Structure 1
Amino acid sequence: MRLGVSKSVAISLGMSSKGYYRLAKTKAVQLALNNKWLESQGLVSIKDQWVKFHYS
């Protein structure tokens, strides 16, 4: 919920019997775990690495 998902959506995702891989495709997870959040966690953008490799 701190990442911008409503309480009801967070509860429904938490109670889902789907696995992590299938939940990753849901709109709520994609909104909460956006590129800005992933970057703040220390992950590197594959797109940025590809551009750097091919055009630098």
Structure 2
Amino acid sequence: MLGWAVTFLVIALVAAALGFGGIAGTSAGIAQILFFVFIVLFVVALIARAVRGRPPL
């Protein structure tokens, strides 16, 4: 999922450099959403691991 966020971020940067504002804004928004979803899932995985009795990482 983090790979998808980075991919959309790169698309947004390239589109912004070429002057495609609409595509850049949409790609940046998608990258931001995917990044936050990744962070939430990472925290949930850490909590689940800690609840099962294993130390987090």
TM-score (norm 1): 0.27
Q: Highest CA radius of gyration, 1 or 2?
A: 2
TM-score (norm 2): 0.27
The structure where helix makes up a greater share of residues is: 2
